[in-house]
Chains A and B, each alone.
Chain A
Amino acid sequence: MFNNLIPALIITPALFAILGFLFSKRAAFFGIAFGLIFFSESLLLLYGVATKSPWAYHFGGWQAPLGIAFAPLRFGSSILGVSAFVMLLTFIYARFSLQESQRALFYPLSTFLALGLVVVYLSQDIFTIYVGLEIIGLCAVGLSALQKSPKALHASLVYLFSTLVASGFYLLGVVIIYAKYGLLNISALIPVIQEELPTLVAFGFMVVAFLLKTAVFPLSFWLANAHANAPTPVSALLSALVIKATFYLMYLFAATLFIFEYELSYFLAFLGVGAIFYGGIKAYLSSDLKLLIAYSTISQVGYLLLIFAFIDEHTDPSMAFNAMAFALFSHTLAKSGFFLAAGVVVHIAQTKEISALQGYASITPVSVFAIALSAVSLIGLPPSLGFVSKWYYLQSAYLSESWFFLFAIIGGGILSAAYLFKLLILFLEHPLEEGHLLRREKSHTTLEWTAFTLSFLSVFLAFFSNSIIAFMG
């Protein structure tokens, strides 16, 4: 039964994307139905991964070196499950927040995005992963172009070219590896891979591709504008799901294939520290609410990269892995909740200027509460998933005596507290004018509560951190 789950995860998005595109008036219905089915399928997959011994699915019945193999790993399947949940709630949100012409394109495109995520998180074949990256990249560009403003179009064009360059780099790496070893399957490559110049060049290209697609600090120029100018549900999908896929690949390849020296993976961790401070300072200085959230994404990506400082460490590597996994989950939930709640605030205020949002706690209390909960998780205050992540990072930094990273983690937390508390204090002040209450619509209640669910889970799931760690093994 669990064996046919993997083709089902491919068939469902493909069929529902087709249906949503064909019957564009009913796109929202097909989209939300897809969200429900996809989420239940990914829960079944999680159950299968937890109870069965690891298995692989061979497409077309051809065994691995010739055919394509998919293998659900524990970490990848759990990210897929969280992504499916975020996707379902975002789909419900989009039903009430987007115009009908936007909905007709949003649902088919984001259903294709789900197909790309399935491929990236489950595939064992480096070329199929390339096709998955292509699907994700093109969907993300199309989604970010849904907003009809010159700024959004410019940002999505920049996004298109950066993601195409990154895909090209990744493909070049795949070509070199295939020319050298004649294999594409990750588990078949592990025993034969050698430390040689062509292999290292191929891996170098792949790392640059992943850094560009994940928007790690010096290569993060495309992210802020693309995420800040897109429609709200799109911003949530882009920063919660899309950049995580390439980060997962970077981690997976580093843990299985890459044979870099310790110094090189250390370099990645330094980039992460750069990202934490660059994103934090830019977020503090920005006067646009969605831009602040986008820069905070750049900063949070830095925490994910810190794992490369501890991946070869003599101390227990599982501690750093836990820290990274919790950082990923907390950011996925908190950031999508943050974007969706900010969307409600922006919709009522009709402006993205932060200074005009004074006193919104009395106008949309639920959204501001959601933003506060997200902030708790992003800063890393207890009890939240973000706190669990920072706790594990601080422990592994302390045990391996890397004081630089210890201070970077603490400093980054203080910096994110600075820009998030600045925002929250403004929300809690006395309102500037009372007329905004009139702009509240009935649909805002649904929007607020979907955002609240995501932000609440980013805090509440911390109480189950032990069972999450036990599941990841």
Chain B
Amino acid sequence: MTNFKIFKYANPAKFLYLCEKTFIYLVLLTIIFLSFGLYQGFFNSPEDYQQGNLVRIMYVHVPSAWMALMIYSSIAVASCMYLINKHLLANIFCKSASLIGASFTLIAIVTGSIWGKPTWGTWWVWDARITSMLVLFFLYLGHMTIFNFSENTTKSGQAAALLAILGFVNIPIIKFSVDWWNTLHQPASVIKLSGPTIHSSMLTPLLVTALGFFFYFLVVLIIRMRSEITNEKINNLSFTD
């Protein structure tokens, strides 16, 4: 395991150094991708022949839903690494990514219901995907609250890691069960075996915005992880006294 180069950065000092070096570039990338993608999406892409200008909410809704799922998966992977290798950084990653993921989930849910009101005629439907997003939001909430239980970061971190893995195992089952129960949402149209069923003039801004969201996530993550590492240092100092 130790042969992987990435574990070199499991050392907080080296990680902080890496952050220092790349932070400004990440900010730049975020600004470039987000401004280009959102400009293309909001002003330069075609209208939908049924929904008109309403379709433009997709450029916020879809990437944030992707990010919500991606962040939860990354938290699950980091939790595995934390339980196996006991890298402090993995725990700090879980702690700081959880809130960002929860807010992305909330953005996806809120924009979805704003989108749903004119198109489906209702703010909320108990439909498969919406319900599984809501469940994901609850999983995030549980994961966040477990960190606040005790001052001892390792103790609450291990419990939260186990919970994240449990939730990650359950997500496909929840998705499947809710699909089974009821569905009304449009089926997946970007990731498909037969190629995307969405036109490239809409797909390009969508993907660019998704990249922008990803870099934005990295920027916020680095800020939060830095403060969390500082927090940890302060805690260690006060324990030694």
B is a partner of A: no
